[in-house]
Amino acid sequence: MDKHREVFIEEAYELLAELETSLLELEENPDDAEHIGRVFRSLHTIKGSGAMFGFDDIAEFTHEIETVFDRVRDGKIAVTRELINLSLSARDQIRAMLQCQEIDESKSEAVIAAFREFLTEPEGVSAEIPDSPAIRLPDRTITYRIRFRPAPTVLADGTNPILLLGELRELGDAKIVAQIDGIPRLEDYDPEACYVYWDIILSTSEGINTIKDVFIFVNGNSEIRIEAIDGHGTADEGTDYKKLGDILLERGDISTQDLTDALSAQKRIGELLIQEKGLGHGVVESALTEQNHVKKMRKIRQETISASSIRVPSEKVDSLVNLVGELVTVQARLSQKAFLQNDPELRSVAEEVEHLTAELRDNTMSIRMLPIGTTFSKFKRLVRDLSNELDKDAVMEIKGGETELDKTVLDQLNDPMVHLIRNSMDHGIEPPDIRERLGKPRQGTVFICAAHSGANVLIRISDDGAGPDYEAIRAKAREKRLIPADADIGEKDIFSLIFMPGFSTAEKVSEVSGRGVGLDIVKRTVESLSGTVEITGKKGEGTTVTLKLPLTLAIIDGLLVKIGDSHFVLPLSSVEECVELARDDLTRAQRRNMMRFRDELVPYLNLRKIFMIAGTSPGIEQVVIVEADKNGRIGFGVDRVIGQHQTVIKRLGRIYKNVEGISGATIMGDGTVALILDVIQLVQSVEN
């Protein structure tokens, strides 16, 4: 049971995240039935599963909220900002219960009391049978064809067939067609008799016995036929369903001869059967309803099957990635052995193994990839809460939410994103009155945009607020003696000051910002992910922070180079070009630390000198030109460029955690170790 409780808690967190997102979207579109249905389903699932696994307090608490949203779904309660605020508070309370925190019972009681006020109905409002709810059907859903022909005396016996139909609706997704062909002329009509019968198409996860129980009190004198028509066999039946004539033939509404006669007339079969055989409109409509309903359910099931997933602990995925990394290393050794022995058969096997390993690597890495939108949608709640706290009006918009990023990178991005959004709200977005005076909309916007860029992902966090105040930044930098009083620095250097520990232009410290630790954390975290941060903006028009991050931290493509007997790997995503320097040009470059590249001067660094590797440089040195963030192009001098190398990143031990310029290591095909260079950190260490 403890294991099942853990699974429930994990799923409940996902449901609460879905609930929060749905509530925020519902606030923007209060009349959207789909959002209302999503909120109701989340609450209903949390309540039912909570009661099943012993979380009775959660089930009891959620029941009241679910009841309110059931009324919202029926159109009896309107969605207001007050209801959304209360629902978000209830969501936070449920999360606290899941975390087994010390619960403030008075707060729970206050929330429940507030929800109960919504349930007060005006006098004279009568209960009605609601339409079939837009529920999310389980995977094992079976569609039944039901014909319910009550006895003519059913009304006189005190039974209301409408209530039985309402019970069927509660079992799943139901389509009901009333057949009225049996109603006689007025002079023959008996007010106490029932002349109507019903055809019901019901998709439900309940068994056939549950359906029979609905008719238990009328089963003796009524015609009740229940047939499973879909979902009880295999899942590869496609989305098509039987022809209209076949459905009517199965039901016994027409004979084989009627069907043959109708098909031979080369007209629409429904019209022909009505015209030629006197078939009632209701009977044909019922068959069409069944046809359309089953097609819809099969389509839903096909989509569910195609999008089905299994829950796997992240530790198992990490273990799989590590094993694939080891396999990549072994494959490299095999390829090298095959090349050295020059055995055609062995080389053929090595090439096949290399192909399969690459495919396995790509598929394994894709398992760790998650869409950014799913993770970042939770920041909409942060913007909403900060708007209330700071007396501002702002919303968040996410573009490129389908862009995927490694789960490890996404998990570590949470804190940097929170700091950046807080800064946008506190320093960027102006109060509504000020925005109106400036000719801006009263409501500000925080944008998150994500897009792929080669082997990287670019995430931009921007706002349409006040923008950077360069003079305030300069003044604060002079005050803290970070720059000389007479220094005239450019915009790029000004922005670099913002990332320094303890730097803040806020006049006073608030609960949101002002301590000068936010952007420092952002920079350190992003650089630890082998990424970069860049700030741009214009005063009065807003600020944009761009995070450039690698797609994955496990396996990368690199450029393998050699200096003496040592091997190094440069991330291929930052490499632009490789050139050669003759001895005369090399001497000048080493003396000036500059080299000429395509008619421009580029900083030059000799890796042999930086890593103090013994020996002399070759007569003709090869230089790798890389893009190093704000420093632009930089040339790294090496003895020899070997070529592209698939690199499995191995983290260095704790002893080497403070070594600058090295981000990890990889194992070569011959078993030797090559160090992976952190280009940006290497440049910074040389500058310092």
The full DSSP string for 171-196 is: TEEEEEEEE-TT---GGG--TTS---
Q: How far apart are CA 239 and CA 237, in angstroms?
A: 7
Q: How far apart are CA 584 and CA 592, in angstroms?
A: 13
At 352 the pLDDT is: 92
- pLDDT class for 133, splitting at 50, 70, 90? very low
The domain over range 314-368 is classified in CATH as 1.10.287: yes
Weakest-pLDDT range from 163-167, 501-505, 548-552: 501-505
Whether the pLDDT of residue 235 is over 60: the answer is no
Any idea where the domains of the chain sit in the sequence? 2-118, 142-306, 314-368, 371-550, 555-687
Query: Looking at residues 144-156, what average pLDDT do you find?
Result: 88
Residues 173-189: tens digit of each pLDDT: 888 888 888 888 888 88
Q: How far apart are CA 470 and CA 483, in angstroms?
A: 14
Which tokens hold the place of 489? Answer: 């620095």
Q: What is the CATH code of the structural domain delimited by 371-550?
A: 3.30.565.10
Q: Looking only at Cα atoms, what is the longest distance across the chain?
A: 117
**What distances in angstroms separate CA 137 from CA 16, 235, 390, 522, 564, one per listed residue?**
19, 15, 42, 43, 65
- Determine the residue type at 577: E
Cα-based angle 163, 169, 171 (whole degrees, multiple of 5): 115
Contact 624, 607 (CB under 8 A): no
Q: How far apart are CA 190 and CA 196, in angstroms?
A: 12
Weakest-pLDDT range from 270-279, 290-299, 378-387, 425-434: 270-279
Whether the pLDDT of residue 268 is over 80: the answer is no
Mean pLDDT of all residues belonging to the chain: 79
Topology of domain 2-118 in CATH is: Four Helix Bundle (Hemerythrin (Met), subunit A) (1.20.120)
Positive/negative CA dihedral, 22, 28, 34, 40: positive
Whether the pLDDT of residue 129 is over 80: the answer is no
Query: Looking at residues 184-195, what average pLDDT do you find?
Result: 88
- pLDDT class for 125, splitting at 50, 70, 90? very low
Residues 28-82: tens digit of each pLDDT: 888 888 888 888 888 888 887 777 777 888 888 888 888 888 888 888 888 888 8
Q: Homologous superfamily of 555-687 in CATH?
A: SH3 Domains (2.30.30.40)
The more confidently predicted of residues 632 and 405 is 405
Q: How far apart are CA 195 and CA 178, in angstroms?
A: 11
At 447 the pLDDT is: 92
At 317 the pLDDT is: 83
Query: Looking at residues 365-374, what average pLDDT do you find?
Result: 81
The more confidently predicted of residues 569 and 653 is 569
Portion of the chain with pLDDT greater than 70, in percent: 82
- pLDDT class for 154, splitting at 50, 70, 90? confident
- Determine the residue type at 218: V
Q: How far apart are CA 410 and CA 372, in angstroms?
A: 8
The more confidently predicted of residues 476 and 543 is 543
Query: Looking at residues 95-114, what average pLDDT do you find?
Result: 81
Whether the pLDDT of residue 518 is over 60: the answer is no
Contact 15, 37 (CB under 8 A): no
Whether the pLDDT of residue 241 is over 70: the answer is no
- Which residues, at least 6 apart from 154, have a Cβ–Cβ distance to it below 8 Å? 161, 194, 218, 221, 222
Whether the pLDDT of residue 136 is over 70: the answer is no
* This prediction's pTM: 0.59
Q: Strand, helix or coil at 54?
A: coil
Positive/negative CA dihedral, 422, 426, 430, 432: positive
At 379 the pLDDT is: 87
